[in-house]
A and B are shown apart, each in its own frame.
Chain A
Amino acid sequence: MALMRDAPAQSCPSTAERLVIGGANDVCGPPGTAAPAFRAGTLVLAASLAIAVALTMTRRSGVSRAGLGVLLLGAAVVAAPGARALLVDRADAPLRAGATASTVANLLGDLDGYVSEHHGCVAEIHDDCLACQPLLRFVVPRRVACARRDGRIDLAADTLASALPSPASRPCAVEQGALECGHTP
């Protein structure tokens, strides 16, 4: 699990790197990143909705279809900014998911291919890329007993940030037996 997270000034995880690090922790950044007026407005609306739900559930006449419809409409209004983030802003939004997936898959493929060639027995991994940590864990999920270890993986800090979604792009290159990833000029 990622112990670090995005700077509070940033909001939605709109790049592959930020999606990997914090995409499942919230929808659009930590609570403090929303504008105060927006937070206050939606919270007041949510509180009003909560009171309406409590009254609806406890009053003698119960709940009607129309009443439930109004509650649902209110809930949808409060959730609308989050829905927009899911559908538009995030890197896994429907129209952006393909490119993000290709970016991640390209890097994952390069790492996995190199580790497989070395039968999981890579001698050294130098990782400056926070977002690459979980990918490495997927590629090397456990320590294996090796007669001999060789090769090296070098992940620069910008590895995932500089990776491209193009199927032809290669985020990593093998140089002198080592897998070098990132290092944007």
Chain B
Amino acid sequence: MRPYALMVAIWLALAPALVFAALGAGLERLSGLGLAAGWGRWPRWTACGLTAVFAAYMHPAIALLVAGLVFAARRGAGGPTTPRALVVGSRDTDGKWSALVPVAIALAAVAVLRPAVPMYWDTFVWLGKARIESEGLGALRTAAIDPTADVIPHGYPLLWPLAASWFSMFAKDAASLVAGAAATTLLALLLFLDAAADAFEGGERPPSGFDRRPRWALGGAMALLLVTPMFWVHLRSAYADLPVGLLAATCTLRLGRCLEGAEDVRRDLGAAVVAAMALAGTKDEGIGHVVAIVLAAVAVQPKAGRREALQWLAVLGSAAVVFLGWRALLQAHHVLNTDHELSTPAFEAFGSIGQIVAASAGDTRTWGALWPVAGAAVVAVLARRASFRPATRLAAFALLGEATLLGSALILGPDRVRAFAFAGTLVNRLLVQLVPPTGALLLLGLGDAASRAAARRLSDAQSS
């Protein structure tokens, strides 16, 4: 066998990505959700096409229900239709993106410049599932709902292995499948960076006491996230945990921008719906993230009107349709997802689970200073709510809710889940899912602190 090249064949994903993007662009035209703006339109369209194909792949009824919710989302977005000339390639959006281009290129390079062979346990398992799809479109679905086929892990959602297969053009060899998984991770990463650039800009104009969030704060906060060693391990793996976190952060940032009063929220809402569907289709934890994010939005804006309620319904509903639709399919075919069934709460394990979570989060070789910093940021935002804009408060509540839901899964899940946690193979991977939401909180929180300082300087200059 020849020595392995230290680069994955990412170009394999170009043709499928273009097909998905074309489909996404068409769907955007039909639905009226404004996904097209700036360079970020490409990952948005691609993700839209991918999730639409996935919904139809699972069952046509699921695709129809999601289409109904997108219609609700359109009503929820409200507002005038932005003239296309102002949307496509707007200088403003491209300018925000340009601040993140070096970050995107560096991250993409690290994700791609690696051996084209699986090297970690679950990578083989996920790509093994992806390999089933190489027998033909629908092969994985057929195998996954066949209890005799012994596809493990049993009953897990299918989007992650399917995307790896589709982006590798139904490849059977490990090298191409690794490239497909890398492309899927990159797609989630681009959605996150795109959402970060938009959310950092905030709504139409900053509220009283704030100036625009400065770009250097965006770069600095992103760098704080990137000095987390575990982030780099998972960026180069084919595990689904980092993409789940990136999608959760995307959903948070998009809904946050809706709260900050952007005049035309269709793009944010459309991207939030796509991210929520992808979350529910990637892992069962995904629906937990979406629930936590929507509850956080309700907590930040408890006296919301019909428009906001429709937005939240669209986000939560589209994820719920994907999650429940898949569960219904499993039930109809007598397939049990034994890893993620609820069981009698193991309250007696509360202390030992708390200990292992604390020990894992305090492991600075794996996490650097991320978790103490994340805790401090949450406390700071919740203690001084008036000092932070709504999107930042949403990010703090969402992170808290997501951490609580993931933690409670260790108590409410089956014994097997706790066995994995105590063996040291689960807690860090759940924490990986919280890394991008923490990044979202840091960039908004530090951005607010920097924008307050700028507003104060401006005010002092005017008064003097």
Q: Which residues of B contact A58 (CB under 8 A)?
A: 380, 383-384, 387, 449
A98 close to B (CB within 8 Å): yes
CB-defined contacts of B148 to chain A, threshold 8 Å: 143
Tell whether, in the assembled complex, residue B425 and residue A25 are in contact, meaning their CB atoms are under 8 Å apart: yes
* Cβ 8 A contact of A57, one of B128, B363, B381, B454: B381
Give residues 387-443 of B contacting A (CB, 8 Å): 387, 419-420, 423-426, 428-429
Q: A23-B119, A92-B233 are in contact. List 17 more A-B contacts (CB 8 A).
A: A5-B424, A23-B120, A25-B429, A27-B365, A56-B446, A57-B445, A58-B384, A62-B452, A64-B453, A71-B220, A72-B220, A79-B227, A82-B367, A98-B4, A104-B119, A137-B125, A141-B131
Expressed in whole angstroms, the minimum distance between the Cβ of B57 and any Cβ of chain A is: 18
B120 & A105 in contact (Cβ 8 Å cutoff): no
By a CB distance below 8 angstroms, the chain A residues around B117 are 101, 104-105, 108
Q: Which residues of B contact A92 (CB under 8 A)?
A: 114-115, 119, 233, 236
Majority-rule SS of A interface residues: helix
In the complex, which of the residues A45, A56, A61, A134 contacts B125, with contact meaning CB atoms closer than 8 Å? A134
Are A31 and B362 in contact, with the CB atoms below 8 A?
yes
Total B residues in contact with A, Cβ cutoff 8 Å: 87
Most chain A CB within 10 A, of B174, B232, B448, is at: B174
Interchain CB contact under 8 A, A24 and B372 = no
Q: Are A1 and B115 in contact (CB under 8 A)?
A: no
Q: With an 8 A cutoff between CB atoms, is A60 at the interface? A: yes
Q: Which residues of B contact A42 (CB under 8 A)?
A: 364
Residues of A within 8 A of B420 (CB): 1, 3
The answer to whether B122 has its CB under 8 Å from any CB of chain A is yes
A85→B228 CA distance, assembly (Å): 12
Q: Is A123 an interface residue (CB 8 A)?
A: no
Contact partners of A88 in chain B: CB under 8 A: none
- Return A47 CB to nearest CB of chain B, in Å: 5
Q: A49-B369, A79-B364 are in contact. Are A167 and B1 (CB under 8 A)?
A: yes
User: Which A66-107 residues sit within 8 Å CB-CB of chain B?
Assistant: 68-69, 71-72, 74-76, 78-79, 81-83, 85-86, 91-92, 97-98, 100-102, 104-106
Select which of A5, A45, A47, A142 is within 8 A of B151 by beta carbon.
Answer: A142
Q: In B117-160, which residues have CB < 8 Å from any A CB?
A: 117-125, 127-129, 131-132, 143, 148-153
The contact string, 1 if C-beta is below 8 Å from chain B, for chain A 122-148, is 000000000000110111011100000
Q: How far is A22 from B237 in the complex, measured between Cα atoms in Å?
A: 12
Per-residue CB contact flags for chain A residues 11-55 toward chain B (1 = under 8 Å, else 0) read 000001001111111111111101000010011011101110110
A86 near B233: Cβ-Cβ < 8 Å: yes
Q: Which residue of A lies closest to B451 (CB)?
A: A62
Name B's A-contacting residues (CB within 8 A): 1-4, 6, 114-125, 127-129, 131-132, 143, 148-153, 174, 216-217, 220-221, 223-224, 227-230, 232-234, 236-237, 239, 359-360, 362-373, 375-377, 379-381, 383-384, 387, 419-420, 423-426, 428-429, 445-446, 448-454, 456
Contact residues in B for A79 (Cβ distance below 8 Å) = 227-229, 364, 368-369
Chain A residues with Cβ below 8 Å from B379 are 54
Residue of B nearest to A143 (CB): B150
Asked whether A63 is an interface residue with its Cβ less than 8 Å from the other chain, the reply is: yes
Contacting residues, chain A, for B381 (C-beta < 8 A): 57
Given A45-B369, A50-B372, A79-B229: A1 touches B425 (CB 8 Å cut-off): yes
Closest 3 CB pairs of A and B: A62-B453, A79-B368, A82-B229
